[in-house]
């Protein structure tokens, strides 16, 4: 049975196009400069400038006291005849003899003005002086020929020739601007076409269509430059979910959802060691690993953040850690530090601990081959609820394929519009062929849908962005004048708010007389039923701190 091939759908992702235009801004500017250089070359290198001198003449017929209209008609016909006479070779030869030249160098032209007895004579040459002098010579010698053609005609000059101040065949500014604009449109169009046709994962829909793996979680795009000074200086700060002032609620919630799935995976399969992988560099792997560990620790789990990116570690930069011999993982794995003297450093009196490197170690593959890393992981398994391992990129370090076999679950970080879909599928197939347990992919740096609604209010996921009209904005659902706001009819101080179900003064409220904590409630100290005090929960699985 033959498999039907899926037709590739061409989708336009505007954020990707804008990013590509920004990245290729130098290329676009260079294309415009090439267009300007082409205009300059055409003006000064390819074409020959020509200069034209022009004179206007009038023909009058000698027919006595005839009708003026008949006189004008005859004169108009004579003007056409004289226009033909002026371009004859004999006229050029006479003018050349008059100037003492061997031949007429310029181009002689004459044309009658339609409906009048006027005609214009012009000479075009590569030299403005030559065209002027040759035209003056023509005007001086024309009576020798015109008197032979028509004796009863009078030719007068009504506009004397003048020397040309500039070339008559110069390229118009509109044509030069058109050439530059064409170069600009071609470069911008080329970048847009390449961006659209690039076979990468740009959205969640594209991931489902192109990647043969489970989508474990999605992380929205978050700006690293938070201030105007930071944007101008391009200073970037680490995006950690514990810093509420630096990250958005949507960004934090995405990691809490991923942490919840990891907890569920542990309950179902008993997995504790999770490796965070990536195919290429700069996919946000270290940031994802750090935030997953922070989110798990915030829920009371004892978490160890294990750094196996020995050549180019980034975790210590995210948390601002400095070298301490007793806490350096590389010294422990290399044997320079005895296991009894190694102490994972604690993060701000929380249940998160670090086993990271502040220096690069080139011989890290030996620690994997001789089983040192595996023995350290097994020893740490009994002390921690979760071990989140940050690894090196798969394309940069081949030893990652051996690391994935030491852990319980593997998660692949896929940053939007970075790695081709074919390369991602090959990497996922390699992980599955190693016999390891692949949990799925985390799609990182996902931009919201580019739409009018997404820019002023919300995107397709239901998250609100607008400051004034968002979910918690002035006119939002919980805003000042919103549906459940402070001054709304059913709000906190409204007419019916006092007696609502969740009001403080409601009969059936939590703190009312008959509520859960009320005078006769089940958890009040005067209640007849003693339920005891609620426990805040014991120490997390795997032992206390």
506-533 pLDDT, tens digit per residue, is 444 444 545 545 555 544 443 333 333 3
pLDDT tops 90 at residue 414? yes
Whole-number average pLDDT of the chain: 78
pLDDT tops 70 at residue 478? no
Residue 311, pLDDT score: 81
Q: What is the CATH number of domain 51-159?
A: 3.30.70.1130
Tokens read off for 117: 């007895």
pLDDT tops 50 at residue 422? yes
Residue 408, pLDDT score: 93
pLDDT tops 90 at residue 427? yes
Residue 38, pLDDT score: 87
The band of 154, judged by pLDDT with boundaries at 50, 70 and 90, is: confident
User: 3-state class of 179 per DSSP?
Assistant: helix
Portion of the chain with pLDDT greater than 90, in percent: 31
Q: In Å, how far are 16, 235, 236 from 226, measured between CA atoms?
A: 21, 9, 8
CA distance 359 to 490: 60
Tokens read off for 363: 């011989």
Mean pLDDT across the stretch 291-304? 94
pLDDT tops 90 at residue 243? no
Q: Tens digits of per-residue pLDDT, 179-202?
A: 899 999 999 999 999 999 899 999
Residue 533, pLDDT score: 34
Residue 467, pLDDT score: 39
Q: How many CB atoms neighbour CB 467 within 10 A?
A: 9
Lowest mean pLDDT among 15-19, 113-117, 531-535: 531-535
The band of 495, judged by pLDDT with boundaries at 50, 70 and 90, is: very low
Mean pLDDT across the stretch 105-122? 88
The band of 274, judged by pLDDT with boundaries at 50, 70 and 90, is: very high
Residue 31, pLDDT score: 93
CA distance 257 to 275: 18
230 or 89, greater pLDDT: 89
Superfamily assignment of 204-449 in CATH?
A: P-loop containing nucleotide triphosphate hydrolases (3.40.50.300)
Strand order in the sheet with 303-308: 215-220, 438-446, 409-415, 273-278, 386-391, 303-308, 352-355, 345-346
| Contact between residue 184 and residue 158 where contact means Cβ atoms under 8 Å apart | no
Give the predicted TM-score (pTM) of the model: 0.64
Residue 471, pLDDT score: 44
122 or 227, greater pLDDT: 122
Residue 183, pLDDT score: 93
| Contact between residue 421 and residue 211 where contact means Cβ atoms under 8 Å apart | yes
Hey, what long-range contacts does 165-169 have (CB within 8 A, 24 or more apart)?
165/128, 166/51, 167/49, 167/50, 167/51, 168/50, 168/51, 168/52, 168/124, 169/47, 169/49, 169/50
Residue 30, pLDDT score: 94
The band of 228, judged by pLDDT with boundaries at 50, 70 and 90, is: low
Residue 351's nearest CA partner among 482, 485, 541, 115 is 541
The band of 291, judged by pLDDT with boundaries at 50, 70 and 90, is: very high
Portion of the chain with pLDDT greater than 70, in percent: 74
> Torsion angle, CA of 309/315/321/325, rounded to 10 degrees?
-20
Mean pLDDT across the stretch 166-180? 79
Lowest mean pLDDT among 7-16, 307-316, 362-371: 7-16
> Could you tell me the residue ranges of all domains in the chain?
14-47+171-197, 51-159, 204-449, 499-534
* Residue 108 CA from chain centroid, whole number: 59
Residue 288's nearest CA partner among 133, 70, 126, 444 is 444
Owner of token pair 């260079």: 30
CA distance 138 to 150: 18
């Amino acid at each position: 049975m033959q498999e039907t091939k899926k037709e590739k759908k061409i989708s336009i992702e505007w954020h990707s196009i804008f990013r590509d235009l920004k990245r290729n801004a130098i290329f676009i500017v260079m294309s415009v400069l090439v267009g300007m250089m082409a205009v300059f070359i055409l003006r000064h290198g390819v074409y020959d400038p020509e200069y034209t001198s022009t004179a206007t003449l009038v023909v009058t017929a000698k027919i006595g006291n005839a009708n003026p209209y008949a006189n004008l008609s005859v004169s108009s016909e004579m003007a056409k005849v004289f226009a033909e006479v002026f371009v004859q070779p004999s006229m050029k030869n006479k003018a050349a003899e008059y100037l003492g030249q061997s031949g007429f160098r310029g181009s002689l032209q004459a044309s009658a003005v339609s409906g009048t007895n006027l005609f214009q004579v012009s000479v075009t040459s590569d030299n403005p002086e030559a065209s002027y002098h040759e035209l003056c010579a023509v005007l001086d010698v024309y009576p020798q020929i015109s008197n032979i053609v028509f004796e009863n005609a009078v030719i007068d000059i009504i506009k004397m020739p003048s020397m040309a101040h500039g070339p008559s065949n110069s390229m118009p500014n509109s044509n030069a601007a058109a050439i530059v604009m064409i170069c600009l449109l071609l470069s911008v169009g080329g970048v847009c076409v390449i961006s659209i046709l690039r076979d990468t994962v740009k959205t969640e829909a594209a991931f489902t269509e192109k990647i043969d793996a489970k989508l474990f979680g999605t992380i929205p795009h978050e700006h690293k430059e938070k201030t105007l000074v930071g944007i101008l200086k391009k200073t970037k700060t680490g995006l950690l979910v514990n810093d509420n002032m630096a990250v958005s609620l949507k960004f934090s919630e995405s990691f809490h959802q991923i942490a919840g799935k990891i907890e569920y995976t542990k309950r179902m399969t008993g997995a504790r060691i999770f490796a965070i992988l990536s195919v290429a560099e700069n996919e946000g792997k270290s940031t994802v690993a750090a935030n997953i560990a922070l989110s798990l620790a915030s829920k009371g789990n004892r978490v160890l953040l294990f750094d196996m990116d020995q050549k180019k570690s980034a975790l210590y930069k995210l948390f601002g850690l400095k070298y301490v011999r007793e806490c350096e993982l590389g010294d422990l794995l290399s044997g320079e530090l005895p296991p009894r003297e190694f102490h994972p450093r604690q993060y701000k009196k929380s249940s998160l601990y670090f086993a990271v490197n502040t220096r690069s170690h080139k011989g890290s593959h030996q620690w994997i081959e001789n089983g040192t890393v595996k023995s350290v992981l097994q020893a740490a398994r009994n002390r921690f609820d979760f071990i989140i391992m940050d690894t090196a990129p798969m394309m940069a370090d081949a030893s990652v394929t051996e690391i994935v076999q030491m852990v319980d679950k593997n998660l692949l970080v896929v940053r939007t519009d970075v790695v081709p879909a074919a390369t991602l599928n090959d990497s996922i197939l390699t992980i599955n062929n190693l016999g390891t347990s692949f949990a799925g992919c985390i799609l990182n740096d996902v931009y919201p849908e580019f739409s009018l609604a997404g820019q002023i209010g919300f995107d397709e996921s239901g998250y609100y962005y607008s400051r004034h009209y968002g979910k918690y904005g002035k006119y939002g659902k919980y805003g000042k004048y919103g549906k459940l706001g402070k001054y709304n009819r059913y709000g906190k101080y409204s007419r019916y708010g006092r007696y609502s179900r969740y009001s403080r003064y409601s009969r059936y409220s939590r703190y009312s007389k008959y509520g859960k904590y009320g005078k006769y409630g089940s958890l009040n100290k005067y209640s007849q039923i003693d339920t005891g005090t609620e426990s805040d929960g014991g120490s997390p699985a795997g032992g206390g701190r």
